[in-house]
Structure 1
Amino acid sequence: MKTVTRTGVGPLLRDWRERRRVSQLELALRADSSARHISFVETGRSRPSEDLLLRLAEHLDVPVRDRNALLLAAGYAPRYAETALDDPALHTLRAGLEQILVGYEPYPALVVDGVYTVIAANRGIAMLLEGIPEHVLAPPLNAMRVTLHPEGLAPRIRNLPAWRRHLLHQMERQIALSRSDALRAVYEEVAAYPAPASRGGSGDPGGDGGAHGGPSEPGGAFPYPYFALPMVLEHRGRTLSFVSSISTFNTPMDVTVAELAIETFLPADPATADQLRSLSG
């Protein structure tokens, strides 16, 4: 029986199990194994089979990139490729993403990777970024950076305190799940940007001034009852309100594809929809 060192797969597997707050017995039941065998794997007394390791990773919802790390630590070859986006093998994927972005116009939509680097964006996004200094838009463009930077979209976002909290909390959840050092570096950068003062009041959806931090009542400065926290921003003297939706690929078999996400911005009220159609005309 091969002994796995303390720097091998055992400590990594235990770390993922503890992060997911799953007991050895519960994980064993899920993966059709035994708590004793999982204990032996975690302590280095036993080397898991490749099949078992992949089942454990699946039931612990380990990201695809980190599944490769588990396999390598156990002495196996990586299972998942990491294909560059400009590789001919991903031509169909790129074409499909472009079709989605164009089809969503005039509403904004973009594709980002695991650290929010913008891979592609449509004309709706370009419209929102009009007037932002070039140094903020310098490649590689990062969606979190351009949104929260004091010279980016931040001064235009009318409910910036609430939207900033939402974005930072979103990144915190992702860091807890993925343990990505690169994502943590982005988080630490944007979290250090000057925190805005809350405007408060009934006209600030999700702001700090309302009793519940929710949207305003009909008839106030924002007359529509929002169904999710909106991003409310000023553009060309008009007020635009969006709710965002993020889509990822189901059961990806490539690290690059697994870390892609499509974020679309849906008009949160009829006025915004009308204004976007007008602006794109």
Structure 2
Amino acid sequence: MSTAAVLSPPAPPRGVGPLLRRWRDQRRLSQMELALEADVSTRHLSFVETGRSKPSRDMVVKLAEHLDVPLRERNELLLAAGYAPAYPETSLEDAELGQVREVVGRLLAAHEPYPAVAVDRRWELVDGNAGVPLITAGAAAHLLEPPINALRLSLHPEGMAPRIVNLAEWRSHILGRLRREIGVTQDPQLRTLLAELEAYPGGDPDDGSPATQPGPGEIVVPLRLRHEAGELAFMSTITTFGTPLDITVAELSIEAFFPADAHTAAVLRALV
């Protein structure tokens, strides 16, 4: 993917019909396949996509659900159809999300001594536990000032990158994940972030990093960090809230890092 393509995405189509068609094309569904899944006639769906028929509010929501459109973009579809947004976007600091904050805090604390972070849709740090400083040690101060972007911190040459043993492999994993998220959300800010990350050094396996192909016995892409106690290896998982109805909650995720070997587990238990 070229930088020019990332910085100059195609203009979004206007009207709910073309927007729905774009989402259907991205999901690689034919009109007939979507019509069968959503239990509507192919003729009616065709009329909606071409603008010959205005869909009801329930129809927009129904098609968006079957197309797995994120909540933020579902609101855009509703607005394009002339309806009020259906999904609120509540600040995480508001009282009504107090229970969500408590759940996030408990998950992060329960994962200690291993690192874990909570991030929003654009990978900006919402919270982290006591294990995080161990993996971010040595990063430049300006990268640790809010808002902290976890992907920028990971791949920036003044961030974690100099300590990542398998930088080419980890970079390929990060960029691939971000490209998939852009495919799902079409978020222009994520496109800009991708262009920035692609411009960072570290993509050449000839720099001493392992190749981007999995090594013998590897089942996940590990994060391998240089440390004074010896190389540390981590595998990670992503946790999200099930069936969210608020945009903030839907876009919140927790990345938890687990030790990939006994040495790493022992070092973290001793240090954190």
What is the DSSP-based 3-state SS (H/G/I as helix, E as strand, rest coil) of the residue aligned with 2:257? strand
Of 238, 247, 250, 1:246 maps to 238
Which of 26, 43, 47 is the equivalent residue of 1:19?
Answer: 26
Aligned residue number for residue 234 of structure 1: 226
Distance, in Å, in 2 between the alignment partners of 1:123 and 1:238 is: 20
The 5 A counterparts of 1:8-87 are: 8-87=15-94
Which residue of structure 2 aligns with residue 155 of structure 1? 162
The answer to whether the Cα contact below 8 Å between 1:226 and 1:268 also exists between their aligned partners in 2 is: no
Counterpart for residue 187 of structure 2: 180
Q: TM-score, normalised by structure 1?
A: 0.89
In structure 2, the partner of 1:219 is none
Q: Are the aligned partners of 2:35 and 2:41 in contact in 1 as well (CA < 8 Å)?
A: yes
Q: What is the one-letter code of the residue matched to 2:82?
A: G
* Unaligned ranges ≥5, structure 2: 1-12
Larger Rg: 1
| 1:130, distance to aligned residue in structure 2 (A) | 2.1
Q: Deviation of residue 200 (structure 1)?
A: 7.6
TM-score (norm 2): 0.91
Q: Which runs of 5+ in 1 are unaligned?
A: 1-5, 217-224
- Counterpart of 2:264 in structure 1 is 272
Contact 2:172 2:203 in 1 (8 A): no
SS in structure 2 of the partner of residue 152 of structure 1: coil
1:215·1:229 contact (CA, 8 Å) conserved in 2?
no
Aligned pairs for 1:107-186 (under 5 A) are 107-186=114-193
Q: In the aligned structure 2, how far is the partner of 1:246 from the partner of 1:135?
A: 26
Structure 1 segments of 4 or more deviating over 6 A? none
In structure 2, relative to structure 1, the CA distance for the partners of 1:10 and 1:120 (3 Å cut) is same
CA RMSD of aligned residues (A): 1.6
Question: How far does residue 256 in structure 1 lie from its aligned partner after superposition?
Answer: 0.7
* Identical-pair percentage: 50
Q: CA deviation at 1:196?
A: 4.6
Listed one character per residue, the Cα deviations across residues 41-96 of structure 1 (whole Å, up to 9, x for unaligned) are 01111111111111111111101100000011111111100001111110110011
Asked which structure has the greater RCO (Cα within 8 Å, sep 6+), the reply is 2
Shift of 1:249: 1.3
